[in-house]
Amino acid sequence: MPLLTRRQALALTLASATLPLARTAFAAAEPAQVKIALDWTPNTNHIGLYVAQAKNFYKDAGLDVVILPYTDTGAGTLVANGVADFGITGPIGVFTQRAAGADIKSVYAIVQTETGRVIFNDSRKDIQRPRDLDGKTYGGFGSAWENALISAIIRNDGGEGKINTVTLGTSAYEALASGSVDFTLEVYTWEGIEAQLEKKALRRFRYADYGVPDEQTTLIGSSDAYIAKNPGAAKAFIQATKRGYDYSVYHPDESADLLIAGANGALTNTDLVKASLKELIAGHYLKTADGKSGIIDPVKTLALGDFLFAHGILLDGQGAVLRDKPDFSAYYTNALFG
């Protein structure tokens, strides 16, 4: 579940998570087909979709949901061009694509808090804090956001923020293991858990501990055009999807099995799936400690937008850095929950 190039959840009680949804006038009609595109091969970030599908939550809501497999075309691009109605994406993708004129906005927060980490081998005693990364080699994934992120972390710890970058994609993890690069990035709830299962000795820096805005790292995006044309189906999909994610929090073992079965052989490491879901639940990634899931956090969204704008990451349709800060409140909506 790579962090950057593919991209990159309010509360139900246990009882409400298990009760069927009342069928509405919308649901009484012919099932409406809804297509959602994945951002990567099936993993625990997608578990609510597969649970909602297997438990008939979508059918109860009057929907025929098609989960589109991952392709080389990003889910955000598929949404913006009307190929998919919804797509798994990350806030960086939504910000950069909408700034450039794409019709995409965040409509559901799957992950409530930052899952990204800067990682390096535990044997590197010369790396004790972010400023020690100055001048070292980073194995990256090819986005402008990465360099802004890492430089900010280093500078906020008193360093200069100067690094050497080698774009490697997912082979960055092998390069780190061999010592070819000094550090890289991971999604803690997947690569991080996998490393623990494999007993790899790694240490980590959490972005938000060093002045980078905390973010809801995995989202579902849609488009203004789709929502305006299909308001009933859009609301039904988001509410049934929320039901799926909340069910997975309260029934982790069953939900992990449903994800594995729904992935049709794509998930062979069942220990990783179950350990990842356990961490997503225990760490309050899928549902906050006070029981919130799905809702886009306006404070986190606006803070991240300000950070991206200040660091020159947001470009217009011609590739020029935005001169005027956009109205970031248009980049997301929570209207589909009510």
Q: DSSP letters along 6-42, please?
A: --------HHHHHSPPPP-TTTTSSPEEEEEE-SSSS
Whether 66 has a pLDDT exceeding 50, the answer reads yes
Residues 128, 312: Cα–Cα separation, whole Å: 29
* 178: exposed, middle or buried (Cβ count in 10 Å: 0-12, 13-18, 19+): exposed
Percent of the chain with pLDDT over 90: 88
Q: Contact 332/107 with Cβ under 8 angstroms?
A: yes
Query: Hey, how many other C-beta atoms are within 10 angstroms of the C-beta on 71?
Result: 12
The two counts, helices (H) then strands (E), for the chain are 13, 10
Whether 74 has a pLDDT exceeding 50, the answer reads yes
pLDDT band at 157 (very low <50, low <70, confident <90, very high): very high
pLDDT band at 317 (very low <50, low <70, confident <90, very high): very high
**316: Cβ contacts below 8 Å, ≥ 6 apart:** 99, 100, 101, 322
Q: What is the mean pLDDT of residues 14-39?
A: 61
Directed axis angle between helix 270-282 and helix 252-262, to 10°? 130
Which of 106, 111, 112, 115 minimizes the C-alpha distance to 75? 106
Q: What is the pLDDT of residue 171?
A: 93
Q: What is the mean pLDDT of residues 24-29?
A: 49
pLDDT band at 19 (very low <50, low <70, confident <90, very high): very low
Q: What stretch of H or E contains 232?
A: helix 231-250
**DSSP string covering 249-310, please?**
HH-HHHHHHHHHHHTTTS---HHHHHHHHHHHHHTTSSS-TTS--B---HHHHHHHHHHHHH
Write out the E strands in 38-122.
63-68, 86-89, 105-109, 116-121
Phi-psi region of 113 (alpha: psi -120 to 50; beta: other; left: phi over 0): beta
The single residue listed with the structure tokens 């997301």 is 332
Whether 4 has a pLDDT exceeding 50, the answer reads no
Whether 2 has a pLDDT exceeding 80, the answer reads no
Rounded to the nearest integer, the mean pLDDT of the chain is 91
Tokens representing residue 86 in the block:
């919804």
Which of 58, 56, 83, 57 minimizes the C-alpha distance to 68? 83
Distances, alpha carbon 70 to alpha carbons 19, 27, 29, in Å: 31, 28, 30
Directed axis angle between helix 231-250 and helix 252-262, to 10°? 120
Tokens representing residue 239 in the block:
């509410």
Q: What is the pLDDT of residue 325?
A: 97
Interval 303-312: pLDDT, tens: 999 999 999 9
Phi-psi region of 67 (alpha: psi -120 to 50; beta: other; left: phi over 0): beta
**169: Cβ contacts below 8 Å, ≥ 6 apart:** 2, 5, 141, 142
Interval 248-292: pLDDT, tens: 999 999 999 999 999 999 999 999 999 999 999 999 999 999 999
